[in-house]
């Protein structure tokens, strides 16, 4: 049976990655793929890793959006961000099936390390939301999501510089995530990436992601945001470094 081609160690690592990713999502609001996808890419190819994570990603983003206080005026102001994000998904998904996975994995690693660096050192100045800038960032983030499952670092870096309140940030970022998640799920399905057992892996990935999300909600007030934030950034750095190492090794 094809299910037996995955070792117990690989399953353990994948489940652990999804648990940590779901927990990080519940605490920080950060997209689940930015933690889970790099680890899963070390076990599978990038296309499979993205296909596995998209369903639990969509569900966790919807749950976060439901729990967050709503400010619909923000959505109106960010229409171009989301619209161009959806356009970027189509471009990125096209790249996903045509560009060598090692190159895309390297891009994912660089994006994550860029996010970690800016998070540690806060190198970007505060900015105001502008429609042209929204369109550019939305398209780049959507393309990164389609090609490497990594819109989270880009869109987070952008929104963090707007000096929004925590609730506004969570509402905006999860609204963006849900919008592009739906488009990506349809695109991934049409590209035929849910072949063989991949659909079952994706459904199975829902369980650890939601369990960890629930645990994060229960422990949210007991964990220092700063301590957890730095621990997640450290883990993301290790995952991205391993991803870059694998990409370079494959290309040599």
Question: Hey, what's the torsion of the CAs at 97, 100, 102, 104, to 10 degrees?
Answer: -50
5 versus 69: which is more confidently predicted?
69
In this prediction the pTM is 0.82
User: For residue 43, how far is the Cα from the chain centroid?
Assistant: 17
pLDDT at res. 181? 92
Q: What is the mean pLDDT of the segment spanning 88-113? A: 84
CA distances from 99 to 33, 109, 223 (A): 20, 16, 41
The residue whose two tokens read 């800016």 is: 118
In whole angstroms, what is the distance from residue 37 CA to residue 22 CA? 12
> Quick check: 129 pLDDT over 60?
no
| Distance set, CA 54 to CA 23, 69, 97, 201 (Å) | 16, 24, 16, 11
pLDDT tens digit string along 185-221?
999 999 899 988 899 999 999 999 999 999 988 887 7
Residue 103 has pLDDT above 90, yes or no: no
Assess whether pLDDT exceeds 70 at residue 127: no
Among the listed residues 208, 211, 212, 150, the one whose alpha carbon sits nearest the alpha carbon of residue 177: 150
Whole-number pLDDT of residue 3: 41
Judge whether residue 1 has pLDDT over 50: no
User: If you average pLDDT over each of 17-26, 146-155, 165-174, 227-236, which comes out highest?
Assistant: 17-26
Distant-in-sequence contacts of 100-103, Cβ < 8 A, 24+ apart? 100/251, 101/45, 101/46, 101/47, 102/246, 102/247, 102/250, 102/251, 103/247, 103/251
Least confident of 36-50, 121-135, 149-163, 219-233: 121-135
Residue 135 contacts residue 81 (beta carbons within 8 Å): yes
148 secondary structure, DSSP code: H
Lowest pLDDT segment from 11-25, 57-71, 164-178: 164-178
Of residues 134 and 236, the one with the higher pLDDT is 134
Q: d(Cα 211, Cα 206) in Å, to the nearest integer?
A: 8
């Amino acid at each position: 049976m094809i299910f037996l081609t995955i070792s117990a160690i690989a399953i353990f690592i994948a489940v652990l990655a999804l648990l940590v990713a779901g927990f990080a999502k519940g605490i920080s609001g950060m997209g689940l793929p930015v933690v889970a996808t790099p680890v899963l890419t070390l076990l599978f190819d990038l296309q499979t890793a993205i296909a596995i994570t998209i369903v639990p990603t969509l569900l966790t983003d919807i749950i976060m959006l439901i729990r967050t206080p709503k400010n619909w005026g923000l959505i109106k102001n960010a229409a171009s961000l989301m619209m161009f994000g959806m356009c970027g998904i189509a471009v990125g998904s096209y790249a996903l099936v045509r560009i060598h996975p090692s190159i895309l994995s390297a891009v994912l690693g660089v994006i994550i390390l860029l996010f970690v660096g800016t998070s540690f050192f806060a190198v970007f100045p505060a900015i105001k939301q502008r429609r042209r800038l929204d369109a550019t960032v939305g398209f780049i983030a959507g393309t990164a999501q389609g090609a490497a499952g990594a819109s989270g670092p880009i869109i987070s870096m952008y929104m963090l510089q707007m000096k929004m309140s925590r609730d506004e940030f969570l509402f905006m970022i999860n609204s963006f995530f849900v919008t592009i998640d739906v488009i990506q799920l349809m695109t991934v399905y049409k590209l035929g990436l849910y072949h063989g057992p991949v659909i079952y892996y994706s459904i199975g990935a829902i369980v650890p992601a939601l369990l960890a999300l629930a645990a994060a909600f229960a422990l949210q007030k007991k964990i220092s945001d700063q301590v957890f934030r730095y621990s997640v950034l450290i883990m993301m750095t290790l995952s991205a470094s391993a991803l870059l190492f694998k990409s370079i090794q494959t290309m040599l």
